A and B are shown apart, each in its own frame.
Chain A
């Protein structure tokens, strides 16, 4: 097992957003986290990425407790995040945004500027522009490329399709198989259930800070998902 959360509680100050969340991710696996707005998906991603501090044993990476590590230390362990809303650095060009993602890279993985430009050719053309001058979809490509530049074993993608047109979403998701070819595991957070079921090996559904459903896409019925997503009775 690559990553596991154990009874993960997390929140903001006195507000609790996650209640005893247990998920696991195996090496090379693609796991989708679905759930409505405010369900706690981003809180879960931020906890794993080290942005929100937790008790050490609540998150295990290769069996070791990492819940209390800083974001920088988590990156060193091979876990990178594409944050919700992309969050490119406005003062950095496209290429600098990519370079900074690889600044603390571990070892010699396969992701380099060239391979990112091969994955998203449009970025090579725009490489000297400020990252924030690009279209939404292109910015999302930069955010994904920036995270890949650290050669992660686990990539966390928080709502990479949010606010994008369907054809753009298709382009972005087209990169996923090539990312998985490197052996990386991926967690995709999605509100778009169809998209999530299409790409994931396993799915967790969150509602109000709790896991309400999990399984492979084949195991899950529409009714079960509907009730886990929106509450009420199946």
Chain B
């Protein structure tokens, strides 16, 4: 029973990692851009939600509804003003720029909020739990996982069922020919990054309500996100969820054996999957 419990907790934790990773996966899939500031954007969004909750007295759920469009605008601007200029055949400039951005965001948050760790207050659901068959799980972890699934379902609807998603896929395939269709790749990229930042906002809600955060924790979230994306196979959002679940389960199993092994077990699972499936579990046919 304890093992079942551990595995269920791990799966639910995987939902959080999948939320961290989905925006990264989306952006990489469309423009082959690895945003090294992705984890810091999650932390930034968590502070934004915190300010809305503590400053305006909003509930965290309402705060997300306000923060998401703001984050969309931020992502859109970031792409139009900065990232579009450094995209190109050379992959180094975007890495350098987003690395710089990561440091800039951390320092700005440090200035604005100090290094103290904070938490988004969520009195209604904090500590609440439900029975899920034979195991008892926290309501927040269940909501996290459900949100990850919902986010992926919605994104896949957009990607495979709307003109915008068609533009995403076409631009990802061949930006020059997409231009001949009247699509402006730079605008498509800006919308994609905006959408990724809305997913980041959802991730930030759960990051910030479930545990403490401070300005420096972004890079570690980036690593989990990265691993989930790579395990899943580049470009597949369900793969990203599977990747998150694998890391989550490995971490909780590791921790069950020895609490110090939690993080290490996640990294080992990542390496193991890559050894067996170098292109991830659900790789795209092309690339």
Contact = CB atoms under 8 A, between A and B. Distances in A.
Whether A and B are associated in the same complex: the answer reads: yes
Interface string B173-186: 11011111111100
A100 B173 contact: no
Contact of A92 (B166, B182, B286): B166
Interface stretch (A79-87, A209-217, A223-231): A79-87
Given A99-B166, A103-B166, A75 B181 contact: yes
A150 B180 CA distance: 10
B184 A70 contact: yes
A91 B173 contact: yes
A110 B172 CA distance: 30
Contacts of A96: 166
A58 B172 CA distance: 31
B179 A92 contact: no
A92 B169 contact: yes
Contact of A72 (B166, B174, B182): B182
B169 A89 contact: yes
Nearest to B184: A72
B243 to A, nearest CB: 21
Nearest to A49: B180
Nearest to B284: A91
Contacts of B178: 89
Contacts, number: 65
A90 interface: yes
Nearest to B170: A89
A100 B180 contact: no
Which has the most chain B C-beta neighbours within 10 Å: A80, A89, A91, A147? A91
Interface in B128-182: 163, 166-167, 169-170, 172-174, 176-182
Contacts of B286: 90-91
Interface magnitude class on chain B: 10 to 19
A137 interface: no
A150 B183 CA distance: 12
A51 interface: yes
Given A72-B179, A92-B173, A103 B184 contact: no
Interface magnitude class on chain A: 20 to 34
A103 B182 contact: yes
A16 interface: no
A78 to B, nearest CB: 11
A89 B173 CA distance: 6
Which has the most chain A C-beta neighbours within 10 Å: B163, B169, B170? B170
A146 interface: yes
A100 B179 contact: no
Nearest to A91: B169
Nearest to B285: A90
Given A91-B173, A92-B173, A103 B180 contact: no
A104 B177 contact: no
B127 to A, nearest CB: 45
A203 interface: no
B177 A89 contact: yes
Nearest to A87: B177
Contacts of B180: 49, 51, 71, 75, 80-81, 83, 147
Interface of A: 49-51, 70-72, 75-76, 80-81, 83, 87, 89-92, 96, 99-101, 103-104, 146-147, 150
Given A72-B182, A92-B169, A103-B166, 8 more contacts: A51-B179, A71-B176, A89-B169, A91-B173, A92-B166, A104-B181, A104-B183, A150-B182
17 contacts: A51-B180, A71-B176, A71-B180, A81-B180, A87-B174, A89-B169, A89-B170, A89-B174, A89-B177, A91-B169, A91-B286, A92-B170, A99-B166, A100-B167, A103-B166, A103-B181, A103-B182
User: Nearest 7 CB-CB pairs, A to B?
Assistant: A104-B182, A71-B179, A75-B182, A91-B169, A87-B177, A89-B173, A89-B170
